[in-house]
Copies of this chain bind each other. A is one copy, B any other.
Amino acid sequence: MPTAVQATLKSRKSPVQARSTATVEAIFEATVQVLLQSGPERLTTIRVAARAGVSVGTLYQYYPNKQALLFAVLSRHLRLVVEALERACEEHQYRPVGEMIEGVVNAFVDAKLARQDISLALYRIAAGLGADALGADMRKRSTQALTALLRTASEISPSQAEFAAFMLWTTMAGATRAMLESGSPAGMVRRLRQHLVIMGRSYLMSPEIANRTT
């Protein structure tokens, strides 16, 4: 179920000719480039259009407003991260909790770091309403995948799986964000991975979360 905001921010018309498909892609790429080179403050519709080699009018034929441009970029980025997480969840089902956490943490951190520059630029924009709804969607998908994973862990009480998934996700997301925003020096990445694993594992194996009947 797409939210109202998402509907508003979707592409205005679907391109039917090859020419316009190329135009849409050019505008999307131009948005990424302007975002990374000029920053969100100087990202104007005219600048994006110019970079894409079209006029403003053309831009507005495919994206209903400026927010939609950033929404498109944010959307793809978040989707890639969530999909990486979902894959990791699939792959680590029925494994020991320690392995699960390690697999999930590494997948998440890798995905965020893969486009570190985009991640950072996008953190500054979450402002727009679209981002709020989108972030909520992604959190939902992420916690669902994690819940499903935790349900296959023999060590964990099933009734705790859902909330534990929420805690794991916000921990990974929060810590990775803080690290990126503080410049993410090389050594810190390694340490962050380690400590996220330690924290997640010890949390899940704590008497309150772990399955007492097993």
Q: Give the interface of A toward B (CB within 8 A).
A: 40-41, 123-127, 129, 132, 135-136, 139, 163-164, 166-167, 169-171, 173-175, 177-178, 181-182, 191, 194-196, 198-199, 201-203, 205-206, 208-209
* Residues of B with C-beta under 8 A to A175: 166-167, 170-171, 174
* Residues of B with C-beta under 8 A to A136: 181-182
Among residues of B, the one whose C-beta sits closest to the C-beta of A160 is: B195
- CA–CA, A40 to B129, complex, Å? 10
Q: Is the CB of A203 within 8 A of B198?
A: yes
Q: How far is the CB of A166 from chain B (nearest CB, A)?
A: 7
Q: Which 10 A-B pairs have the closest CB atoms?
A: A174-B174, A202-B206, A127-B127, A202-B202, A170-B175, A170-B178, A199-B203, A170-B174, A198-B208, A171-B171
* Residues of B with C-beta under 8 A to A181: 132, 135-136
Q: Is the CB of A178 within 8 A of B139?
A: yes
Q: How far is the CB of A39 from chain B (nearest CB, A)?
A: 9
Among residues of B, the one whose C-beta sits closest to the C-beta of A168 is: B199
Q: Is the CB of B209 within 8 A of A167?
A: no
* Residues of B with C-beta under 8 A to A194: 208
Q: Is the CB of A173 within 8 A of B174?
A: yes
Q: How far is the CB of A7 from chain B (nearest CB, A)?
A: 18
The listed residue with most B CB atoms (<10 A of its CB), out of A40, A41, A198, is A198
- CA–CA, A198 to B202, complex, Å? 9
- CA–CA, A175 to B169, complex, Å? 9
- CA–CA, A164 to B199, complex, Å? 10
